[in-house]
Amino acid sequence: MVVFSVAIGVISVAAACGSDDEGTSTPTASSTSTEAVATATPEGAATGEEGRVAQIGDTVQVHYRGTLDDGSEFDSSAGRDPLEFTVGSGQVISGFDSAVVGLAVGDRVEVRLEPADAYGERTDQAVITVPKDQAPEGLEVGQQVMLGQTPAVVTEVTDEAVVVDANHPLAGQALTFEIELVSIS
The pLDDT of residue 136 is 87
Q: For residue 125, give the 3-state DSSP assignment.
A: helix
Per-residue 3-state assignment (H helix, E strand, C coil) for 29-49: CCCCCCCCCCCCCCCCCCCCH
Q: For residue 92, give the 3-state DSSP assignment.
A: strand
Q: Whole-prediction pTM value?
A: 0.71
H or E stretch at 173 = none
pLDDT in tens, the chain (185 residues): 334 444 433 233 333 333 333 344 566 554 333 333 333 444 443 444 557 999 999 999 999 999 999 999 999 999 999 999 999 999 999 999 999 999 999 999 999 999 999 999 999 999 999 999 999 899 999 999 998 889 999 999 999 999 999 999 999 999 999 999 999 99
Within 13 Å and on the Cβ side, how many CA atoms surround 43? 9
Q: How far from 3 is each of 6, 13, 135, 167, CA to CA, in Å?
A: 10, 10, 9, 20
d(CA 162, CA 76) in angstroms, rounded, equals 33
The number of residues making up the chain comes to: 185
Pairing state between β 161-165 and 150-157: antiparallel
d(CA 32, CA 91) in angstroms, rounded, equals 12
The pLDDT of residue 51 is 78
H or E stretch at 59 = strand 59-67
49-120+170-184 domain in CATH 3.10.50.40?
A: yes
- Evaluate whether 129 touches 163 at the Cβ level (below 8 Å): yes
- Evaluate whether 84 touches 91 at the Cβ level (below 8 Å): no
Beta bridge partners of 115: none
Domain ranges for the chain, please list them: 3-21+127-165, 49-120+170-184
